[in-house]
Chains A and B, each alone.
Chain A
Amino acid sequence: MAVAVVGSGLAGFTAYQALRRGGLAPGEIAVFGTDDDPAGAFRRHAAAIRQRRMRSESDGHCLPATFPGLAVRSALRRRSPGPLVASVLDRYHPTLEEFLAHVERVRERSGWERSLQGVRIERVRAVEGGFELDRHGRFRHVLLTPGQPGLNMPEELRGDPRAVHAYEPHEYRSTVTVVGAGLAAATEWLNALEAGAEVVSVRRREPLRRVLNVPREYFSRRGLGSYHRLSADERAARLRALLAPSYPPGADWDEPLARAAAAGRFRVEESLNGSEQVICATGFRRGFRHDPLLARLVDDHGLETFEGWVSAGADGSVPALTDTTRTLALGGAPAQWAFPAADTLAGARYVGHGFLRRIKACRIR
């Protein structure tokens, strides 16, 4: 086999679909990961915050072409134009069930199981003509999608018995403080209020209100072109700004909060108080140092990094380890240097397309 995907989560799974569409058979791709459900981690996190709808839109799926999107499939299944109309108006967000069912359907028919190796890769080492993955062989083209490097728990709350991370299973006490200002935090405000709790939001900054994780132009060359032309300092600053916590605008969020605030059940404070429960909606750890595989790769090969990001080319490939005969590319959150929304499904698709292009352009496949 010439092609390997390290990581069996949604990012690896979506890139895998692009490879399959590009003509690679399941037997030509090795996927390294221990969870045979590509949506396993996402499913657990979504269940923990009781997420009902996806933030993504019709094209937030795992297939390599944006069309037909989930809205088209939903319209056909329901025999109703409703999802299509909503999609035209940018109001369509698939339910979690719809998305997970889609992942399951794609998994069944894509040959994923035949490619899945069921082992975890600890080390990737550049060798003559490719890369060696532990003792599991050499591969000419490798995509690393190691996933998120663990939950981010504020230092001061480690060991605090009241504290739980939003992405860990939990119930709600009668007084709840939610730390954070992103989608998970906003979801937890509503969850806790619905459970009858009194809620305090503790945040360092006012949350941004955005439909998607980053402004829409950053999902296409329109915004990416100028982003890629920035100097490293400018790009890091832009990336920090783009990755600031945000959640979508809309009455579905604002009205329950306004009602609760009027009833004295929701307020914003600057620091923790005496709540019975502290929910840390503080996302995931950031930076390659938190991921042993990436940290070792960087150290072994002296790769260029910047403020916790591995410096990647526009298509997610690592320039120092990529040429016309081999490819090492990053996918998922580690590819944010190439694509700010790399941790989304669109980002996974973007990296998958780039990886496929590299493979097709390779002189020695």
Chain B
Amino acid sequence: MSYTLRGRLESRLAALLPLVAAACVLTALLHRWWPVQAVALMAGVGLALDVQAYHSLLRYQPAWAAFPLGALELGLLLGLMRLLNVIAPLPQALALFAAGWLLSQILAQAGFPLLRLGYSEDGGELGRLGGVSVLAVGVALAGAAATAYAGLRPVVHLAAGVHQGPLVITRREILIGDAGAVVRGGIIIRADDVTVKNVAVVGGVNGITVESVHGTVLDGVSVSGAQLDGIHVRLAGIVIKNCTVDMHGNPLGQGIDISYNMGMGTSMVEGCTVIGGMEGIATHASMTEIVHDRVSGTQMRGISVDEMSMGTVMDSEVSGALGIGIYCNDRSLCMIEHDTVVGTRPDVASGNPTRRGVGVLASFQSQADLRGNQLASNPVPMGAVIDSQIAATH
């Protein structure tokens, strides 16, 4: 077919219309923006190629050219998605593109010629249908963009200096601390979708309290001087990354305690450093991934996966814990991989034989799968008690 430029653009957008609708539905169902973003990029790539390349290079476009041109557009789309950080599951993104491509071929070869008798001789122009399609795609994508914009969380900057707390966050927002921003007296998060970034917290009953909310992200926070826990999470889904929790002088609090959020998806603690406290990182009745963390100088256990939790402890380092390095207890299932546990100290004063400096301990009907861990520099590298199992692969 020999397309006019207008014909190319109208045909492309009209063929894209069902896909835009499908992407909007998918976005609503999945609560993810990638389908709309991908389709918008697909439209952008296609229109740009139409205007800049195809129109001048292809005076006649044979049907077979749809294959190499489709592959080119797919490559550009994936590259752009990567560049613009549009995160989408690859199989679904490919399926969306393939569906769009196939639909456009069916429409160009069969649908449009049946719908409009002069489609071929008009060079792909669709008359009123073309105008309506252009408008509809534009409105749909603009509507989606407006919705996305309206859904953006407000960003609040916390100025450098000391702010007297407790700071209670009761709306969805992004709180970013400028360099040197300190909250004295703790932060309490009481709204869904709150992100706290680069804020130092000093004191408070708990340093940061997150309770009964979804979608909390703590990124680059530092906590010190908490009376109870450093970061205290109850019934809440959370991602904690790049944090520092200093529990010096608090032998009874947990550095990070994530509990009772089994039904709220997988939580994550990544790249955190916890010093001191009773337990460095503790989970109860929770699904949590503990990755790339460093825990040292704890008084009871370094990392604890407890009370019917399912947890992964990976690529982390536990050093100088008193009694037990990593603990998998009370019917929990633990994957413990590529961790280093060193210098665990025997808790002689407790008189408890399970606390004689065990690198990894599985207790009370728990199961721990160990792989590739460094456990040598501990009085007891690993152990299992009270109907528990350790499966170790080195």
- B111-125 contacts to A, CB under 8 A, are 113-114, 117-125
- A221-273 contacts to B, CB under 8 A, are 221-225
Q: Which residues of B contact A65 (CB under 8 A)?
A: 113-114, 117
Given contacts A21-B117, A222-B123, contact A90 B62 (CB under 8 A): yes
Given contacts A67-B109, A221-B4, A222-B3, contact A89 B64 (CB under 8 A): yes
Assembly CA distance A220 to B113 (angstroms): 13
Q: Which residues of B contact A67 (CB under 8 A)?
A: 109-110, 113-114
- A346-364 contacts to B, CB under 8 A, are 346, 349-350, 353, 356
Q: 24 A-B pairs, CB-CB below 8 angstroms?
A: A18-B117, A59-B120, A66-B113, A68-B110, A87-B63, A88-B62, A88-B64, A89-B63, A90-B62, A90-B64, A215-B60, A216-B2, A217-B59, A217-B60, A219-B2, A220-B4, A220-B120, A221-B4, A221-B122, A221-B123, A221-B125, A222-B2, A346-B121, A353-B118
Given contacts A88-B63, A346-B121, A350-B121, contact A221 B113 (CB under 8 A): no
Assembly CA distance A289 to B109 (angstroms): 41
Q: Which residues of A contact B109 (CB under 8 A)?
A: 67
Residue of A nearest to B115 (CB): A65
Residue of B nearest to A68 (CB): B110
Q: Which residues of A contact B113 (CB under 8 A)?
A: 65-67
Apart from A219-B120, A220-B124, A350-B118, what 4 extra A-B contacts exist at CB < 8 Å?
Answer: A64-B117, A88-B63, A88-B64, A221-B4
Assembly CA distance A243 to B57 (angstroms): 25
Q: Which residues of B contact A219 (CB under 8 A)?
A: 2, 120-121
Query: B7 within 8 Å of A by Cβ?
Result: yes
Q: Which residues of B contact A223 (CB under 8 A)?
A: 2, 59
Contact with B along A180-209 (1 / 0, CB 8 A): 000000000000000000000000000000
Q: Which residues of A contact B125 (CB under 8 A)?
A: 221
- A99-126 contacts to B, CB under 8 A, are none
Given contacts A67-B109, A89-B62, A90-B62, contact A220 B114 (CB under 8 A): no
Choose one: A217, A349, A350; the contact of B2 (CB below 8 Å): A217
Given contacts A217-B2, A220-B4, contact A66 B64 (CB under 8 A): no
Q: Closest approach, in angstroms, between the C-beta of B387 and any C-beta of chain A?
A: 64
Q: Are A353 and B110 closer than 8 Å at their CB atoms?
A: no
Assembly CA distance A356 to B109 (angstroms): 23
Query: B144 within 8 Å of A by Cβ?
Result: no
Given contacts A21-B117, A66-B119, A353-B117, contact A220 B62 (CB under 8 A): no
Query: B45 within 8 Å of A by Cβ?
Result: no
Query: B1 within 8 Å of A by Cβ?
Result: yes
- B3-59 contacts to A, CB under 8 A, are 3-4, 7, 59
Choose one: A18, A59, A87, A220; the contact of B122 (CB below 8 Å): A220
Chain B residues packing against A (C-beta within 8 Å) = 1-4, 7, 59-60, 62-64, 109-110, 113-114, 117-125
Q: What does DSSP make chain A's interface, helix, strand, loop or mixed? A: helix
Q: Closest approach, in angstroms, between the C-beta of A343 and any C-beta of chain B?
A: 15
Chain A residue total in the interface (Cβ 8 A) = 27
Given contacts A59-B120, A353-B121, contact A225 B62 (CB under 8 A): no
Q: Closest approach, in angstroms, between the C-beta of B59 and any C-beta of chain A?
A: 5
Q: Are A220 and B63 closer than 8 Å at their CB atoms?
A: no
Given contacts A18-B117, A59-B120, contact A222 B63 (CB under 8 A): no
Choose one: A59, A225, A350; the contact of B4 (CB below 8 Å): A225
Assembly CA distance A64 to B4 (angstroms): 21
Q: Which residues of A contact B119 (CB under 8 A)?
A: 66
Residue of A nearest to B55 (CB): A222
Q: Which residues of A contact B60 (CB under 8 A)?
A: 215-217
- A314-365 contacts to B, CB under 8 A, are 346, 349-350, 353, 356
Q: Are B117 and A220 closer than 8 Å at their CB atoms?
A: no
Assembly CA distance A255 to B36 (angstroms): 55
- Which has the most chain B C-beta neighbours within 10 Å: A66, A68, A353? A66
Q: Which residues of A contact B114 (CB under 8 A)?
A: 65, 67
**What 10 A-B pairs are tightest by C-beta distance, nearest first?**
A222-B2, A221-B123, A216-B60, A217-B2, A220-B2, A220-B123, A67-B113, A88-B63, A67-B110, A66-B113
Assembly CA distance A66 to B112 (angstroms): 10
Q: Are A220 and B3 closer than 8 Å at their CB atoms?
A: yes
Assembly CA distance A350 to B120 (angstroms): 10
Assembly CA distance A223 to B1 (angstroms): 11
Q: Closest approach, in angstroms, between the C-beta of A211 and any C-beta of chain B?
A: 10
Assembly CA distance A348 to B63 (angstroms): 23
Q: Which residues of B contact A90 (CB under 8 A)?
A: 62-64
Q: Which residues of B contact A88 (CB under 8 A)?
A: 62-64
Q: Closest approach, in angstroms, between the C-beta of B116 and any C-beta of chain A?
A: 9
Q: Closest approach, in angstroms, between the C-beta of A24 and any C-beta of chain B?
A: 14
Residue of B nearest to A88 (CB): B63
Q: Closest approach, in angstroms, between the C-beta of B109 and any C-beta of chain A?
A: 6
Q: Closest approach, in angstroms, between the C-beta of B63 and any C-beta of chain A?
A: 4
Q: Which residues of B contact A225 (CB under 8 A)?
A: 4, 123
Q: Which residues of A contact B7 (CB under 8 A)?
A: 220-222
Residue of B nearest to A217 (CB): B2
Residue of A nearest to B62 (CB): A90
- A149-175 contacts to B, CB under 8 A, are none
Assembly CA distance A93 to B232 (angstroms): 76
Q: Which residues of A contact B110 (CB under 8 A)?
A: 67-68
- A18-74 contacts to B, CB under 8 A, are 18, 21, 59, 64-68
Q: Which residues of A contact B123 (CB under 8 A)?
A: 220-222, 225
Q: Which residues of B contact A224 (CB under 8 A)?
A: 121
Assembly CA distance A59 to B119 (angstroms): 12
Given contacts A64-B117, A67-B109, A67-B113, contact A222 B64 (CB under 8 A): no
Q: Which residues of A contact B4 (CB under 8 A)?
A: 220-222, 225
Q: Which residues of B contact A220 (CB under 8 A)?
A: 1-4, 7, 120-124
Q: Which residues of B contact A66 (CB under 8 A)?
A: 113, 119-120
Assembly CA distance A223 to B120 (angstroms): 12
Q: Closest approach, in angstroms, between the C-beta of A155 and any C-beta of chain B?
A: 37
Q: Which residues of B contact A87 (CB under 8 A)?
A: 63
Residue of B nearest to A89 (CB): B64
Contact with B along A1-29 (1 / 0, CB 8 A): 00000000000000000100100000000
